[in-house]
Amino acid sequence: MILLSGLLFLLWGEAARCLEEFTFDGDIRQFAVATNTVYVATEEKLYQLNHDLTLVQSLTQRGVLKTGKQAEDTQFLRVSETDQWNSTFSVIVLLPFVENGSLICCGMIDDCGYCELLDLEDITNVRYREHIQVGSPWRSSASVSFLVNVETLSRNETYILAATEQQEDKSTETSCSTGTDAVILHNTNNNQKGLIFSSVGKDIHVAIKREDNVEFIDGFQIDSTIYLFSNLPSKDKSNKVRLIWLEGKESKGKTLKSLRGATLSLSDGGKGSRLLASSVVPGGPPVLWSGVFSVDGGQSNTELVVFDISPDLTGDIDVDPDFCRTPCADRSKPKTLPLPKVLFRQKNMTTVLAVRQKAWMVFFIGTRDGQLIKLAVDKNYHTACPRVLYRANEDRQVFPKIHLDQVDLKHVYVPFQNEMKRVPVSKCSTYATLQDCWSAQDPYCVWCGSKRSCTFGDDCHDSDWVSIPDESQQKMVSYKVAQDRTGQITLNVQTHFTVGSEVLSKFACNFVTSFGDPCKAGLPHQFPQCTCNLENSTLSAEGLQVTLRIRLGTTSLAEKLKISNCTEIRGPPTSVLCRQCIEAGCGWSTNGCSWANQGERNDSVCQSLESGMSSSKPEISSISPSVVSFYGRNHAVLSGRNLGGVTRVRIQADMDCTPKESPVWTNTGVNLTFHIPSADNKGVVKVCVVLSDGSCHGNTQITYQSSPSCTNITPSSSWISGKRKITLIGSHMNFVEGVIHSHALQDSRPPRDSTYQNLTYDTPAAENIRGIFRSDVSLKVANETLACSTKVTYYPDPEFTGFQSTRTGDDIRITIQKKADKLEMRKEDLSVWGVQEDKQYPCIVEEKESSNETDFFICEIKMTAEVTFQQLLIKYGDKMETLSIKSSSLMFLLMLLVLLLLIPIIFFVIFVYRNKQKKLTAKMNKFMEDLELDIRNDIRQGFVDLQTEKADLMENVGAIPFLDYKHFASRIFFPENDSLMTACIKDIGQDAVQVQLDECCHGLSKLIQDQLFLTSMVHALEEQKSFTIKDKCVLASLLTVALHNNLSYLTEVMEDLLSALMQQNSNAQPKLLLRRTESIVEKLLTNWMSICLYGFLRESVGQHLFLMVSALTQQTAKGPVDCVTEKALYTLSEDWLLWQAQDFTSLKLKVLFEVGSDGEVSEPLEVSALSCDTVEQVKEKILSTFKAKFGFPYNTPLRDICIEFEKNGSFVLLQEVDASSEVIGEVTMLNTLKHYKVPDGATIKVLSRKTHPPLSPQGSLKDDENFSGKYFHLIDPDVVEDQRKNPERKKLKLKEVHLTKLLSTKVAVHSFVENLFKSIWGTPHSRAPHAVKYFFDFLDAQADNMKITDPDVLHIWKTNSLPLRFWVNILKNPQFVFDMEKTPNLDGCLSVIAQAFMDSFSLSETQLGKYAPTNKLLYAKDIPKFKQEVKAYYKQVRDQSPITVSEFKAFLQEESKKHENEFNEGVALRELYKFIQKYFTEINEKLDQNGAPTELKEQLHHVKNSFDGLKSCSWN
């Protein structure tokens, strides 16, 4: 269904989105086409579009006009659309000058002329500007400008011919110019006499003048002859259409002086016709020209005609009475051209474009009501059936000019008021059969035998095609039956085709009847004819049924023919019998039917005959309605006389097209009903009535117009019970047959009344739906349902609450109360009657008033002197309600009782409330004081930390624990696969030995060294849905290991795969390239960068990275760290901020280490700790300080030591959890130094568990699987308040107060971060690393190949490949580079730094507010400086002299050699084969697709057999 509806939209243009289109900001004023570009000038903009109507760029025409002392000092300066402006450049002349590569724009700024010369490729590039008048001083469709070439003695000169409308009552003079003559030639360059835009010739200003009114319609040049068309309106409302010929030779003056002219007239002496639009027909001689003429001088009654306007250059020059260079008095009358051929009559034609297609002329006609019609005309001026290429639903005029797409010549540009559509010139692909393709009579289409479809001619690439003939024909195959003197009957068949050479050589005919071949042998068939001499010289009365099979190349065609004895077709000589005779292949002689060679074959002979009716002919007097939308109309009524025998109504356009017939539903003899069918186009059609014998009588018209559309609805609401009177507002509303609501699709509401703009109807009820809802409104037009953009909201029925009556004289004034609602009820919605003793008195509703909760309707009952009303009858819609006056005494008593009871209740409530409020206020004041004090302390402490933060972090961290290359590489290659990480590297000692690969692995190694195999394998695997991203990363890393000894080859493969990936992404989103790791080559690039940059990482960046990580670790240790969640007070990440931390103090501990087994201890070591540290954290700080102090770790691991605290002369064992630990609910708090009351300066002794087992031996509590569920440290568990022992732990903490800790941490480590960043984008010795320069040059070359000129794309590619793909990985994972562990808090800090690092490479400017994430705000002030450094880095790399291929290969060979034998190549190859084995079939198929040689596929099968057959290559 989607495809079908899409096809229908394409056919009829009912949805503009099915065509290529562009909507402009403002109405189109000028429009021009040059090669592959469309230029459009609107009121305030100039647009440059590609030929497919995609925007290239636009140029504002708003600006500031700065005046100087002299007129030439005036400057027009364009401004942006948001800036203040005081002038607009209104374009009147828009001419692409292709040979000069410029676009000429001339027009007006305020009241003065202005011209610009723009770059044809880039309209924002203004080559030249000047304040000068060229062309008309006002916007006028009666002025034309075009470029003309004049042949001078030395060269061809190009000028602007400006033909300007002249009006007696409207001067062309402006404040800046003295006026413009009718026809002037202006220069186009500074090499011409008088400089650019000047109209001065060799001697003086030359021009053609017109003393009376003139409207110029069109102009063009063919060879050296210039043609100019105009209307000359006169005061008596007559009009003369004139043609001027000029010869473009020698100079401007000679060209204008060569003036000759002629008059164009539609009839002898006719003066009422007026030229509306024109187009020259390409080709010739003769020079054929088409014009749209208004027959009566108006706008609607129009004809398309063709004149021969071949120039007559024999007469005198410059003697024209209407146009002259000197006063025009006493001149001879110009010649009148021969009368034209009238091709087409259609209402409201406004524009025409003529093209040649083969031997046919094709005209594209625009209309005032929004249609584009195509009309094909053969060389004899016979027209094919007109086709509607586009039809707008509403009335909107086509722009006066349409142009052909110069790129493919298969589309036309159709401009409307503020949009342009690119419409295909044909719908060849919609014709499914040869018959349909031929019947379309479209010279653009051919039936392509090889494709078995109807296509454009140039889309059929061989000579096996069939198309329509050069002359218009009604049938593909026609035949005639002749008889010679001997009685031999001959059947002559004529095929009407144009064919390709292949069809011509394979043309054949075959005649078949039920008895076999009816023809005598020996007659050859020569295209386009087939001849058959019948075996039997007599034909039976019922005739002979013959099937004719025709072969046209690979296409076959079958036609059924009925061969009749022409002399047996007898009867009275009527038009019906005549047509029957000619359709049977016979000829019509004077009184009857005869053989084809003895009579007339043209069916025009039948039109002069009577129908043969004995009774009176039917007559048509009227059709109601006679104006309908193009969807047609149901139940139309045709009135007339003698209609009893009518069976059908025939509807036919002016052209000889296939008519439509509609059956008659009811017939009274004077009236009949029928359905008016839908039409393809808008316009007038003829109507006649058809009798049973096929004859058609009567002549009236039906006019098809646009479809209805609704724009507003009032009122926009209805009550549930329905029948509210609604008015729809729009256009063509008189064509609507019913209104449908979405909640009642079967209830089509007929219009109460309708005009062109308005329609009123009653809404349907919605009593089965409760509540408020909105109902969509649609219009029923014939058999179509058209959606409205408006909706009706349904509300509950109005609720009337009461009424009051007041007598004024003999009249009674009644005020009706209604609850306020959203129905917006009007006084006309109500009908009211007063009821007294079953008698009803009409109450005339006069006004409506509203308050907050009540609406009042006021009505009057006239002349009711002695009547009082206790009851009203109210009607709205179809609903009647009875309303009575309510008694108010009972209500008064009830209200009084309520008031008496309410007073004591209120006093009691106030007393209780005030008592409670006092207690609550005192309690809250105390709480707020405590809270304020805590927050003040927290804020002050944060401020103090921020202002006193010192960069006192240790820079001497000892030897940096770098991992060796193979461990670094394996962690990069296999970050999530520990088994492969260890299996692919050799142990110490093995890496010095070169291991020979076994046969199967050696074969596979050799196979992957073939680039065709390797790229085919990669592409084959990536096409498999079961091949996951994880598999892609593993495969890429296995290839890296297996090819590590040949990095040059690995680089070539990577470049090949990257190029393919770029081509694949180039049509989608090039900026997303390398953003994620979704392909094998992207992981391969990560590995390649890691290999090539390891040396740079270790030599230049490693130290700065380690210092930064150490600084973060030290800064974190300054404040509390929650042992369970690992959140810290000092961090860079808001997610890892320990804002719930309680108060703490810093402690200096004297730590003694046990020496020997006799209780001897070492010298004391001073260790910094916090009162809130757990026992485990204290141990970690002791061992960390020991290592920093002595440069080597303590000889006993952390889990094997215990610590004791000296208290009152004896040592107390410190444990994570003991009997004294605080328990809240079921959760135990870990013991801290504060819990054990360890003071500042306390002595701690470190013991070994092995020599001094504790009283209650325990391992690390973190070994418990439910550690975080059983224990807590600084963050309280969520338990009931009553279960807490320490009330001080309930202090309220605010996260935002502690956000300053993020900043203080940033300040502390900032210098380390800056140093690290500068080392990454620094260039030692002013040269970037080889790999960076080489790869960036590779990306630049790829962008050039793909014609990518956007510098942002290149910047993003480089950023995605180096910082994002390599450096961020290193920044976030220092454990890949160093022998260290990464805590979750450290990971959070590194993520913030990595984010700042990537923001430094971003091109977008992020606007940060108070709700922006803290990780963005933290480095917001530093990012702009970093961005400048990054730009300088990228520029320095780009400007660096390129590295040669040989230099880079030498670098790669050196890297391979450095780390040779460090990886286990055999393991990688075996793992690699697992993928080959799994996807063996797919890889084999891909090799076939890529045309792999047989030897390569045999090598693959050999490897498979080797692996499958040898146990030595088992996976163990």
Spell out the alpha helix ranges (H) of 470-528: 501-505
Question: How far apart are the C-alpha atoms of 614 and 666, rounded to whole Å?
Answer: 24
Q: What is the pLDDT of residues 1476-1510, one digit of tens each?
A: 999 999 999 999 888 888 888 888 888 888 888 76
How confident is the model over 266-278, as a mean pLDDT?
A: 79
| pLDDT tops 90 at residue 769 | no
In terms of average pLDDT, the best of 296-310, 714-728, 906-920, 1255-1269 is 714-728
For residue 86, give every residue at least 6 positions away whose Cβ sits within 8 Å of its Cβ, in sequence order, or none. Answer: 64, 65
How confident is the model over 1200-1217, as a mean pLDDT?
A: 88
| pLDDT tops 50 at residue 892 | yes
Question: How far apart are the C-alpha atoms of 112 and 94, rounded to whole Å?
Answer: 17
Question: How far apart are the C-alpha atoms of 1074 and 755, rounded to whole Å?
Answer: 63
What's the pLDDT at 935?
A: 64
| pLDDT tops 90 at residue 908 | no
Q: Cα 31 vs. chain centroid, distance in angstroms?
A: 24
What's the pLDDT at 478?
A: 92
Q: Give 562's DSSP letter.
A: E
For residue 485, give every residue at least 6 positions away whose Cβ sits within 8 Å of its Cβ, in sequence order, or none. Answer: none
What's the pLDDT at 1290?
A: 47
Instruction: Provide the pLDDT confidence category of residue 1208 given band limits of 50, 70 and 90.
Output: confident
For strands 387-391 and 371-377, give the pairing: antiparallel
How confident is the model over 260-267, as a mean pLDDT?
A: 87
Distances in Å between the alpha carbon of 440 and those of 7, 465, 492? 17, 16, 25
What's the pLDDT at 1250?
A: 61
For residue 1012, give every residue at least 6 positions away whose Cβ sits within 8 Å of its Cβ, in sequence order, or none. Answer: 1487, 1490, 1492, 1496
For residue 1455, give every residue at least 6 positions away whose Cβ sits within 8 Å of its Cβ, in sequence order, or none. Answer: 1047, 1091, 1092, 1095
> 61 and 114 in contact (C-beta within 8 Å)?
no
Q: When comparing pLDDT for 437 and 324, which is higher?
A: 437
Average pLDDT, the chain: 85
> 425 and 364 in contact (C-beta within 8 Å)?
yes
Question: How far apart are the C-alpha atoms of 1318 and 1430, rounded to whole Å?
Answer: 9
Phi, psi of 1365, rounded to the nearest 5 degrees: -85, -25
Instruction: Classify 147 in phi/psi space as left (phi over 0), alpha (psi -120 to 50) or beta.
Output: beta
Reduce the DSSP state of residue 1186 to 3 states and report it: helix
> 384 and 471 in contact (C-beta within 8 Å)?
no
Q: Cα 54 vs. chain centroid, distance in angstroms?
A: 11
What's the pLDDT at 1302?
A: 83
Q: Cα 1069 vs. chain centroid, distance in angstroms?
A: 14
Q: Cα 525 vs. chain centroid, distance in angstroms?
A: 56
Distances in Å between the alpha carbon of 424 and those of 266, 429, 497, 1385? 32, 11, 24, 64
Nearest CA among 354, 352, 420, 367 for reference residue 398:
367
For residue 1064, give every residue at least 6 positions away whose Cβ sits within 8 Å of its Cβ, in sequence order, or none. Answer: none
For strands 62-66 and 55-60, give the pairing: unpaired
What's the pLDDT at 1282?
A: 44
What's the pLDDT at 949?
A: 55
C-alpha angle 908-914-919 in degrees, rounded to nearest 5: 135
Helix (H) and strand (E) counts in the chain? 27, 76
What's the pLDDT at 736?
A: 93
What's the pLDDT at 1281?
A: 45
In terms of average pLDDT, the best of 420-424, 564-568, 991-995 is 420-424
Q: What is the pLDDT of residues 1049-1069, one digit of tens each?
A: 999 999 999 888 888 765 556
Q: Which two tokens stand for residue 1153?
A: 């280490």
Q: Give 784's DSSP letter.
A: E
Nearest CA among 1373, 1411, 1415 for reference residue 1393:
1415
| Residue type at 1002 in one-letter notation | H
> 332 and 318 in contact (C-beta within 8 Å)?
no
Phi, psi of 699, rounded to the nearest 5 degrees: -155, 105
Q: What is the pLDDT of residues 451-470, one digit of tens each?
A: 999 999 999 999 999 999 99
What's the pLDDT at 1105?
A: 93
Nearest CA among 203, 291, 310, 218 for reference residue 250:
203
Nearest CA among 628, 667, 668, 629 for reference residue 649:
667
How confident is the model over 595-604, as a mean pLDDT?
A: 84
For residue 867, give every residue at least 6 positions away whose Cβ sits within 8 Å of its Cβ, in sequence order, or none. Answer: 812, 834, 836, 841
How confident is the model over 994-1004, as a mean pLDDT?
A: 74
Question: How far apart are the C-alpha atoms of 39 and 47, rounded to whole Å?
Answer: 6
| pLDDT tops 90 at residue 597 | no
Q: What is the pLDDT of residues 819-870, one digit of tens each?
A: 989 898 998 999 999 988 888 899 999 999 988 888 999 999 988 777 788 8
> 750 and 776 in contact (C-beta within 8 Å)?
no
Phi, psi of 129, rounded to the nearest 5 degrees: -140, 150
| pLDDT tops 50 at residue 1099 | yes
What's the pLDDT at 330?
A: 67
| pLDDT tops 70 at residue 1286 | no
Q: What is the pLDDT of residues 297-334, one digit of tens each?
A: 777 789 999 999 999 888 788 888 888 876 666 677 88
Q: Give 713's DSSP letter.
A: E
> 85 and 79 in contact (C-beta within 8 Å)?
yes
What's the pLDDT at 1313?
A: 92
Distances in Å between the alpha carbon of 141 and those of 145, 164, 401, 720? 11, 10, 10, 54
Q: Which two tokens stand for residue 729?
A: 């507002």
Nearest CA among 930, 894, 932, 977 for reference residue 1467:
977
| pLDDT tops 90 at residue 125 | yes
Distances in Å between the alpha carbon of 361 and those of 401, 816, 1041, 1272? 18, 75, 70, 92
Question: Please, what is the angle between helix 1480-1489 and helix 1465-1478, to 10°?
Answer: 80
Question: How far apart are the C-alpha atoms of 628 and 678, rounded to whole Å?
Answer: 9
Reduce the DSSP state of residue 709 to 3 states and report it: strand
> 347 and 300 in contact (C-beta within 8 Å)?
yes
Instruction: Classify 1237 in phi/psi space as left (phi over 0), alpha (psi -120 to 50) or beta.
Output: left
Q: What is the pLDDT of residues 1398-1432, one digit of tens each?
A: 999 888 877 777 677 877 888 888 888 998 999 99
Q: Can you give 650-704 as a three-state secondary structure string?
A: EEECCCCCCCEEEEEEEECCCEEEEEECCCCCCEEEEEEEECCCCCEEEEEEEEE
> 1079 and 1032 in contact (C-beta within 8 Å)?
yes
Q: What is the pLDDT of residues 925-981, one digit of tens each?
A: 777 776 666 666 666 666 666 555 544 555 555 678 888 888 888 888 888 877 887
- Strand order of the β-sheet with 37-42 is 28-34, 37-42, 45-50, 55-60
How confident is the model over 412-438, as a mean pLDDT?
A: 93
| pLDDT tops 90 at residue 347 | no
Question: How far apart are the C-alpha atoms of 218 and 278, rounded to whole Å?
Answer: 6
